Structure 1
Amino acid sequence: MSSYLLQVGYTPEAWASMIANPHDRLGAVRPVVEKLGGKLTEGWFTFGDYDLVAIVEMPSNVEAAAFSLAAAAGGAVRSIRTTPLLSTSEGIEAMKKAAKSGYKAPGRAAHA
């Protein structure tokens, strides 16, 4: 399973509905994530550019994209951002592979 950071911005209409009837949105979203084969790890309300952030585990990018598409199509979110997360060991492995990739930026020598 891969981990993803979800950042959600609600529409004014969605906020009006939640203020009129406060409830746990994570509880409402959890079954959707699980139906896609994933797990909702944790979530928080925030303030700033996004209104809610959550960490989910999904089988692949396809299921993560399916969740984002379903949420966007529902009409309650003004924006949703899905960011794949790498564990520190995955990040280190990626750095090692990058060092051996042979990539050459214009005007520079290639990496070993």
Structure 2
Amino acid sequence: MPLYMYQGAYTAESWAAQMKNPQNRVESVGRQACEAVGGKMIGGWYCFGDYDLILIADVPNNESMAAIAVAIAAGGAIKSSHTTALMTGAELVGALKKSESVAKIYKPAR
């Protein structure tokens, strides 16, 4: 199954609610969300910077990952998010090999 990295930034209201009831929501919510679409959570972490949490999800396809992202966004606790499809080294090597045939026909606009 494809791997995805989901990054989310909590709203101030969500942080306030979590301060009143501290718990590791990345672990509980992330695992349940991945399992709801037939996948599994590889790991989840809190972090500093533009995003407050990172979730690595192993889910069946883009539609499944989009379902997770949309459901979380609709909940209102996240003010911004970003989802990135992840590739293995072998997948990148395959892409590099295929890029040769595209490079032969592609002509940049000038």
TM-score where L is the length of structure 2 = 0.92
Q: Is the 8 A contact 2:6 2:56 kept in 1?
A: yes
Deviation at 1:28, TM superposition (A): 2.4
Q: Identity of counterpart residues, as a percentage?
A: 42
Alpha-carbon deviation of 1:6? 0.6
Q: For 1:32-51, what aligned pairs fall within 5 Å after superposition?
A: 32-51=33-52
Q: Which residue of 2 aligns with 1:105?
A: 108
Stretches of structure 2 lacking an aligned partner (at least 5 in a row) = none
Q: TM-score, normalised by structure 1?
A: 0.90
Per the TM alignment, residue 24 of structure 1 is displaced from its structure 2 partner at its CA by 1.1
- Residue number in structure 2 paired with 1:4: 4
Deviations 1:78-106 (A, max 9, x none): 01111000101001101110112232223
**Is 1:93 aligned to residue 91 of structure 2?**
no
Higher helix share: 2
Matched residue SS, 1:100: helix
| Paired AA for residue 14 in structure 1 | S
Q: Within 5 Å, which residues of 2 pair with 1:60-71?
A: 60-71=61-72
Once the two structures are superposed, the pairs formed by residues 9-88 of structure 1 within 5 Å of their partners are 9-25=9-25, 26-88=27-89
Residues of 2 paired with 1:14 and 1:52: CA distance?
13
